[in-house]
Amino acid sequence: PPKAENGSPSEIILDEFDDLTALSNSINDDSTVSITVVGASGDLAKKKIFPALFALYYEDCLPKHFTIFGYARSKMTDAELRNMVSKTLTCRIDKRENCSEKMEEFLKRCFYHSGQYDSEEHFIDLDKKLKQHEGSRVSNRLFYLSIPPNIFLDVVKCASKSASSVNGWTRVIVEKPFGRDSESSAALTRGLKQYLVEDQIFRIDHYLGKELVENLSVLRFSNLVFEPLWSRQYIRNVQIIFSEDFGTEGRGGYFDGYGIIRDIMQNHLLQILALFAMETPISLEAEDIRNEKVKVLRSMKPLQLEDVVIGQYKSHTKGGTTYPGYTDDKTVPKDSVTPTFAAAALFINNARWDGVPFLMKAGKALHTRRTEIRVQFRHVPGNLYKGSFGTDLDRATNELVIRVQPDEAIYLKINNKIPGLGMRLDRSNLNLHYAARYSKEIPDAYERLLLDAIEGERRLFIRSDELDAAWSLFTPLLKEFEEKRIAPELYPYGSRGPVGAHYLAAKYNVRWG
């Protein structure tokens, strides 16, 4: 395998860097970073990776010397790549500003190399081109695998043999899916480790790059009012909810082989759960945080069939418009039983969380788009005011809502007296609404993650043992679903999902928020 990276993980202490420019300067002026986007002709590259790289460039976060190469089989000239990329660049930092000059400068640093994914010869050609740009500087190389997973290993093999750096670091960002069960994930990890050491592998879960997910630890560990309440003693249940108001449009082919549990729950929602529930890490170093996350995952009981409800959206006509069902997609088999919705109850068998249901819900083609963490607190013992809420005592409990997206917010539902001479109580929100509080646009998750990968900061990337633990929780259940071909409950496109999710919650005395 190629050389491991020199030195220890980044020694940057993040809170010392409110100015991001300083972060980029931590890469030496004598070195250069070459970023190769493998699969540059694809959807993710256009939609997310190039725009994120531009945003970093715009904010002066990229090192002084950098080059971006697109690599794919499609034939394209540099000019054609630039033209393709330019169509998706936006001035997200400040929509009123004209970024065209910066865009021009950025595009001049973008190049393209066409090649096969399994050809060492083509990667040798890429290496030659990279060297021309790097000159005599120390070369650091980042490969972003924005390609289907069946070709990950071909690329890693060729890139590591023929295009890795000789005097700097070589890192590879790998996109999900990381396998489809414990066995295939372990095989992928083994395959990657034939050519790379763990420190070179940056497994991306873009939810970890979302602002409010990153803020979870800050909220918890830097506010005295939350951490003491963060346990079974005060928390009744935790809900982690993901919903999209559109179907699998355009990605049905990929999706049918995976389903919502693999697409969203096993990774994005489970990562949120682990961060939410972990013990206080020794420090903010990546290994300390990831050690705590693994402990949570290992303390969990694998999912049981009776604690999971699955659904699939069907066609629905509303206001004269017909929305297609999942199996109407031509790339999806007509008799597919792949779930596009799932709700699950999970439990963490440790002293802090024993008996607390963590409910997850994830679905496509629902009535709204949102990702939220909802923390429902217990009833106030001997509540003096319980009479003031009528019979619905659940309404009297506090709830903390962390709205990850859209319209980021953190709000706490509290009880309050309605002003006036009588004694009537009301629920109000103590609300941190990001758009009102902060004028700056929130960065896209990919910006943060790309910057971290360049900086060698691994905190927000998934370590292989975390991945193994995550798959161990879901693999038996997924196998059972597939072996028994359990039919999902159908729900209309644009609805709130299958009613079974409510029965599941009710089983644990939970009402979905």
Which residues bind to ligand BG6, rule: CB under 6 A? 206, 244, 263
d(C-alpha 359, C-alpha 307), whole Å: 10
Q: Assign 3-class secondary structure to 41-78.
A: CCHHHHHHHHHHHHHHHHCCCCCCCEEEEEEECCCCCH
Q: Which residue in 65, 122, 206, 268 is the catalytic one?
A: 268
Is position 42 an interface residue for ligand NDP (rule: CB under 6 A)? yes
Q: CB of 73: closest distance to ligand NDP in angstroms?
A: 3
How many other CB atoms sit within 10 Å of the CB of residue 400?
A: 20
Rounded to whole angstroms, how far apart are CA atoms 381 and 385? 11
Q: With contacts defined by CB under 6 A, name the span among 40-48, 124-132, 134-142, 318-326 that binds ligand NDP.
A: 40-48
Does the footprint of ligand NDP cover residue 149 (CB under 6 A)? yes
**Minimum Å distance from CB 263 to ligand BG6?**
5
Q: Which of 19, 30, 43, 97 binds ligand NDP (CB under 6 A)?
A: 43
User: What does 138 interact with, of ligand BG6, ligand NDP, none (CB < 5 to 8 A by kind)?
Assistant: none
Q: Minimum Å distance from CB 280 to ligand BG6? A: 28
Q: Is 175 in the site for ligand NDP (CB under 6 A)?
A: yes
CA dihedral defined by 173, 176, 182, 183, rounded to 10 degrees?
A: -70
Strand partners, 373: 240, 402
Is residue 201 at the binding interface for ligand NDP, with CB under 6 A as the rule?
A: no
- 237 contacts which partner out of ligand BG6, ligand NDP, none, CB within 5 to 8 A by kind? none
Give the shortest CB-163-to-ligand NDP separation in angstroms: 16
| Residue 2 interacts with which of ligand NDP, ligand BG6, none, CB < 5 to 8 Å by class | none
In this structure, the dihedral spanned by the alpha carbons of residues 221, 451, 177 and 44, taken in order and rounded to 10 degrees, is 130
The reply to whether 86 sits near ligand NDP by the rule CB under 6 A is no
Give which of ligand NDP, ligand BG6, none residue 457 binds (C-beta under 5 to 8 Å, depending on kind): none
Phi first, then psi, for residue 252 (nearest 5°) are -55, -40
* Structural contact between residues 214 and 448, judged by C-beta atoms closer than 8 angstroms: yes
| Residues recorded for the chain | 513
* Minimum CB–partner distance for residue 439 and ligand BG6 (Å): 23
Residue 452 binding target from ligand BG6, ligand NDP, none, CB below 5 to 8 Å by type? none
Q: Is 39 in the site for ligand NDP (CB under 6 A)?
A: yes
In angstroms, rounded to a whole number, what is the distance separating the alpha carbons of residues 347 and 164?
43
Q: Does 41 bind ligand NDP (CB under 6 A)?
A: yes
Return d(Cα 237, Cα 230) in angstroms, integer: 11
d(CA 505, CA 512): 7
477 binds, among ligand NDP, ligand BG6, none (CB under 5 to 8 A by kind): none
Distance (Å, whole) CA 341 – CA 365: 9
Distance of alpha carbon 388 from alpha carbon 511, whole angstroms: 21
Binding residues for ligand NDP restricted to 60-79, rule: CB under 6 A: 72-74
Nearest approach in angstroms of CB 206 to ligand BG6 is: 6
Measured from the CB atom, the residue of 23 and 241 that comes closer to ligand BG6 is 241
In DSSP notation, 233-274 reads TTEEEEEEEEE-SS--TT-HHHHHTTHHIIIIIIIIIHHHHH
Buried b / exposed e across 430-452, counting CB within 10 Å, b at 16+?
eebebeeeeeeebbbbbbbbbbb
CB-based closest residue to ligand NDP = 42
191 binds ligand NDP (CB under 6 A): no
Sorted by sequence, the CB contacts under 8 Å of residue 114 that are 6+ apart come out as 71, 72, 73, 74, 75, 76
- CA–CA distance, 359 with 503 (Å, rounded to integer): 12
Contact partner, 41, from ligand BG6, ligand NDP, none, Cβ < 5-8 Å per class = ligand NDP
Name the region of 259 (left: φ>0; alpha: ψ -120 to 50; beta: rest).
Answer: left
User: Which member of 65, 113, 141, 176 binds ligand NDP (CB under 6 A)?
Assistant: 176
Q: Please indicate whether residue 113 is annotated as part of the active site.
A: no
151 binds ligand NDP (CB under 6 A): yes
Out of 146, 327, 338, 376, the residue judged to bind ligand NDP by CB under 6 A = 146
Q: Which of 99, 147, 348, 449 binds ligand NDP (CB under 6 A)?
A: 147
CB of 201: closest distance to ligand BG6 in angstroms? 18
Residue 263 contact partner, candidates ligand NDP, ligand BG6, none, CB within 5 to 8 A by sort of partner: ligand BG6
Tell me how many residues contact ligand NDP (CB under 6 A): 19
Give residues 239-268 in contact with ligand NDP (rule: CB under 6 A): 254
CB atoms inside a 10 Å sphere around CB 233: 10
Strand partners, 242: 362, 371
Q: What's the rounded Cα separation, in Å, for the pair 39 and 144?
A: 8
Report the interface residues with ligand NDP, using CB under 6 A: 39, 41-45, 72-74, 117, 146-149, 151, 175-177, 254
Residues identified as active-site: 268
